[in-house]
Amino acid sequence: MFRPLILEPVVLQITLVISVLLIISVWQKLKVASGVVLAVYTIYMFSFVSANTKLKDSRPIRLAVHHKFASEPKPYTAKDLNTVETQKINTDQMNSGNNHNAIKIDAKKDLAIIELIEDIETKKETDKLVEEVSLIDIPFKIINMSTGTSVANRSIIDPKSTFSTEDDRVYFLSGVQNKNDSKILYHKWYQDGQLKSKIEMESRRSFNWRSWSYITVNPDRIGDWQVVIEDKSGTRYDSLSFVISDFNI
């Protein structure tokens, strides 16, 4: 019962303070003050001893606490480790394959871009060459050709490339630029690859010397036709194709 009084440092300190106050009260002959100090000390000691006795006899209250423990991971077996390693290897191979395919795709894309650039550069060079050639002063060249059923004012009326047996004639007109002296040309008419007519005409010095020839249409003339412009030496300058059919389109 008295063991807490001895072991508790607070009790010892209070006892010393009360003793000092009690000595001072007695020395000053303060009887009332001495009685009050002694009464307070007595009440304090009684309360302290009673509290320690109840605390010793009482049992601590335990609160119900629910703990949720996470399930511990199941240890890997040798089979599981092999499966994990296999999956990792497959994933790495898949990623490696995807990267390889990506490299191939990028390479194909780059190759297509390079080919496109080369095509553009080639086209530019070709256009430049054609432009340079067109600027060259060519003394003799064919500048226009056309076919139709009639000629007026040295021009074909209603040019077309398909005719029928209902048409009377097929005219072929050519325009020639000739900066040299007079030149002999031929309109050579071919039906299905066979020469049917060869018409001679003179091309004089002119920027647009127009000449024309024609054939009469009949059922024997049905087929694919081609008119070729040649000179006496057999040099072929240009040609134009048309069709004669047995029905009107």
In tens, the pLDDT along 140-191 reads: 899 999 999 999 999 999 899 999 999 999 999 999 999 888 899 999 999 9
Q: What pTM was estimated for this model as a whole?
A: 0.46
The H or E element spanning position 24 is helix 9-27
- Tell me whether residue 99 is exposed, middle or buried, using C-beta atoms within 10 angstroms of its C-beta: 0 to 12, 13 to 18, 19 or more: exposed
Within 10 angstroms of residue 39's Cβ, the number of other Cβ atoms is: 10
* pLDDT tens track for 21-72: 778 878 877 777 778 878 887 887 777 777 766 555 555 555 555 554 445 5
Residue 73 has pLDDT above 70, yes or no: no
Token pair of 163 as six digits: 């005719």
Average pLDDT, integer, range 1-13: 62
Residue 102 has pLDDT above 50, yes or no: no
Residue 69: what pLDDT?
A: 45
Residue 151: what pLDDT?
A: 94
> Residue 137's pLDDT band (boundaries 50, 70, 90)?
low
Which is more confidently placed, 216 or 8? 216
How far apart are alpha carbons 70 and 77 in whole angstroms? 21
Please name every residue paired with 245 in a beta bridge, in sequence order, or none if there are none.
Answer: 164
Residue 16 has pLDDT above 70, yes or no: yes
CA atoms within 13 A on the CB side of 241: 6
Q: How far is CA 17 from CA 12, 21, 22, 30, 127, in A?
A: 9, 6, 9, 17, 119
Residue 8: what pLDDT?
A: 64
- Using only C-alpha atoms, the chain has a radius of gyration, in whole angstroms, of 62
Among the listed residues 173, 222, 237, the one whose alpha carbon sits nearest the alpha carbon of residue 199 = 173
Residue 82: what pLDDT?
A: 52
Residue 223 has pLDDT above 90, yes or no: yes
DSSP label at residue 183: E
Residue 156: what pLDDT?
A: 94
Among the listed residues 231, 187, 206, 238, the one whose alpha carbon sits nearest the alpha carbon of residue 139 = 206
Token pair of 129 as six digits: 């060459």
Among the listed residues 151, 223, 146, the one whose alpha carbon sits nearest the alpha carbon of residue 187 = 146
Q: Report the chain's terminal Cα–Cα distance, integer Å.
A: 135
Among the listed residues 54, 74, 58, 43, the one whose alpha carbon sits nearest the alpha carbon of residue 4 = 54
The rounded Cα 160 to chain-centroid distance in angstroms is: 47
How far apart are alpha carbons 132 and 130 in whole angstroms? 5
Residue 214 has pLDDT above 60, yes or no: yes
